[in-house]
Amino acid sequence: MDADALIVNLFEGVAQPGGAAGVVDRALDGAITQLITAGEIKGKTGELTLVHSLGKIPASRVIVAGLGKESQFNVDAIRRVSAEASRFARSRGARRVATIVHGGGAGGIDAERAAQAITEGAILGLYRFRRHMSKEPENGDVQETLIVERDEAKRSQLEKGCAMGTVVAGAVASARDMINEPANFMTPGTMADIARDLARDGGLGLTVLERAQMRELGMGGLLGVSQGSHQDPKFIVLSYRGDPGSEKALGLVGKGITFDSGGISLKPSEDMGDMKGDMAGGATVMAVMRAVGRLKPAVNVTAIVPATENLPGGSALKPGDVITAMSGKTIEIISTDAEGRLVLADALSYAVKNGLAPLVDVATLTGAVRVALGDVTVGLFSNNEEFAGRVMAAAAEAGERMWQMPMFEEYREQNKSDVADIKNTGGRYGGAITAAQFVGEFAGDVPWVHLDIAGTSLTGKEKGHVVKGATGGGVRTLINLVMGLAAAPAQGR
């Protein structure tokens, strides 16, 4: 096995490496042990140390990655170590990287899960969005990552984990690509084109409704938001039937505002460029369908993306206007910058009308959720505790942090209108909750979870498998949810 770099690991407080790291240490005449003794290697979380092999092993460099305390070690730590060590290797010019199975020894994590986490970490940690850059990167890309394991009996588990990790990470990367794309390239029409490619490649059903069809269905929310833009809105429906014997289908709804200026209720110019990412919810559910088309789970899934721009044109929606959603419910417009909930109103109405259940909507919906939870945690809202628990469990498995927020009836009072059935903002206080209450009106009694990803969809710093720009957060959670529903008994779906 020739490689430019070999990644090994060490738990904090270990005086002499064991397992695969110990084998490498002995081949290097105890170089790692000597660095531990000298205090240069401590095994702390995030610690990376480069050791030159000087021809003693087939890899020219060895990277010793700190795993932190053994008692706190988990699958997400594997993902983090794989990402950070892979980036470190790339910064040193490595093109072919080998790694031992983190967590396969003292970590006590089975080989398949470890291999999946290593694969996800490497792919996502090395992700870069350079489509619009003419200059070549200072460091080229890692071309190949090899997982090294002496136990041949674990080979099939490792291969399964790598295959799953490749699909999952590929889906997250596709969401990042869409969200990072400038809004003059990622238009509603472009999202529809990407959906066509997904349908063709994954054997998915596809329907794209145009403006005339939206009018026939009474989609006043989506049509209203689109009034100020020269770009035609698109209502994208991707469907997968993995369980033809069942009429039930999970519904995934993603907000697809390809640029949000705020409309007439114009946003401040500072950081407005980030609003190209207001279609992150739509990108998330489309990325999940990309994975579904490859994994072929035995469950039915339909993704819905209402896509449009929100701009202040001469015919744009105005504060004080009243529109009618597809469900027939009338909505008073208080702020045209609360547009995401208007397009979700039509999308959820469509989902309910077509019998989709349960439902998950994903949206960069409110700045208020970022005030409440920062950029670490997704706000989860639901009308059904059992289904909320399923989504939370899928998130925990993915290592994505979500927190369930209250949905007390008292908050609905803030959305009451004097001139229509409901108004599109409930005031300053509890803004993320009143927004969720608004969206929930259109889910009705169908089990429903709302994920407000406004605080977590973008990041300005690099940490673990998350890099600057779009995070692709939520994709892995929803893939886990789909796979979990497919594995559950039919009565549990």
CATH number of the domain that residue 355 is part of: 3.40.630.10
Q: pLDDT digit of tens for each residue in the chain (493 aa)?
A: 689 999 999 999 999 999 889 999 999 999 999 999 999 999 999 999 999 999 999 999 999 999 999 999 999 999 999 999 999 999 999 999 999 999 877 678 999 999 999 999 999 999 999 999 999 888 889 999 999 988 888 899 999 999 999 999 999 999 999 999 999 999 999 999 999 999 999 999 999 999 999 999 999 999 999 999 999 999 999 999 999 999 999 999 999 999 999 999 999 999 999 999 999 999 999 999 999 999 999 999 999 999 999 999 999 999 999 999 999 999 999 999 999 999 999 999 999 999 999 999 999 999 999 999 999 999 999 999 999 999 999 999 999 999 999 999 999 999 999 999 999 999 999 999 999 999 999 999 999 999 999 999 999 999 999 999 999 999 999 999 999 999 986 434 4
With residue 238 as reference, give the H or E element that holds it: strand 234-241
pLDDT at 490: 47
pLDDT at 53: 95
Pair (158, 186) in one structural domain = no
Catalytic residue among 87, 176, 255, 341: 341
Classify residue 173: in a domain, yes or no.
no
Classify residue 175: in a domain, yes or no.
no
List, in sequence order, the alpha helices (H) in 297-442: 340-353, 367-373, 385-398, 431-440
pLDDT at 107: 73
User: Rounded to whole angstroms, how far apart are CA atoms 71 and 142?
Assistant: 32
Which residue type, as a one-letter code, is found at position 178?
A: M
Catalytic site residue 341? yes
Pair (250, 383) in one structural domain = yes
Q: Which residues contact 419 (CB under 8 A, 6 or more apart)?
A: 322, 332
Q: How far is CA 125 from CA 81, 83, 204, 345, in A?
A: 9, 4, 29, 36
3-state secondary structure of 16: coil
Final residue of a structural domain among 134, 167, 200: 167
Pair (158, 189) in one structural domain = no
Pair (332, 478) in one structural domain = yes
Q: Which residues contact 89 (CB under 8 A, 6 or more apart)?
A: 4, 5, 7, 61, 63, 97, 142
What does R_g of the chain's alpha carbons equal in angstroms? 24
- CA-closest candidate to residue 288, choices 396, 394, 433: 394
Q: Which residues contact 391 (CB under 8 A, 6 or more apart)?
A: 360, 380, 382, 402, 449, 451, 477, 481
Pair (40, 63) in one structural domain = yes
Classify residue 338: in a domain, yes or no.
yes
3-state secondary structure of 312: coil
Pair (146, 194) in one structural domain = no
Classify residue 404: in a domain, yes or no.
yes
Final residue of a structural domain among 121, 137, 167: 167
Classify residue 148: in a domain, yes or no.
yes
pLDDT at 106: 66
Pair (201, 136) in one structural domain = no
Q: How far is CA 304 from CA 204, 235, 356, 359, in A?
A: 13, 7, 11, 11
Catalytic site residue 476? no
Classify residue 432: in a domain, yes or no.
yes
Residue 50: give its domain's CATH number. 3.40.220.10
Pair (336, 434) in one structural domain = yes
**Residue 328 zone, left/alpha/beta (φ > 0; ψ -120 to 50; rest):** left
Pair (281, 143) in one structural domain = no
Classify residue 493: in a domain, yes or no.
no
Pair (110, 233) in one structural domain = no
Pair (377, 457) in one structural domain = yes
pLDDT at 491: 38
User: Rounded to whole angstroms, how far apart are CA atoms 415 and 164?
Assistant: 43
User: Rounded to whole angstroms, how far apart are CA atoms 142 and 129?
Assistant: 15
Pair (447, 393) in one structural domain = yes
Number of domains in the chain: 2
pLDDT at 489: 60
The domain containing residue 206 runs over which residues?
A: 181-488
Catalytic residue among 42, 95, 196, 267: 267
Classify residue 125: in a domain, yes or no.
yes
pLDDT at 493: 42
Q: Residue 80 half-sphere exposure, CB side, CA atoms within 13 Å?
A: 19
Final residue of a structural domain among 145, 167, 189: 167
- CA-closest candidate to residue 291, choices 122, 483, 489: 483
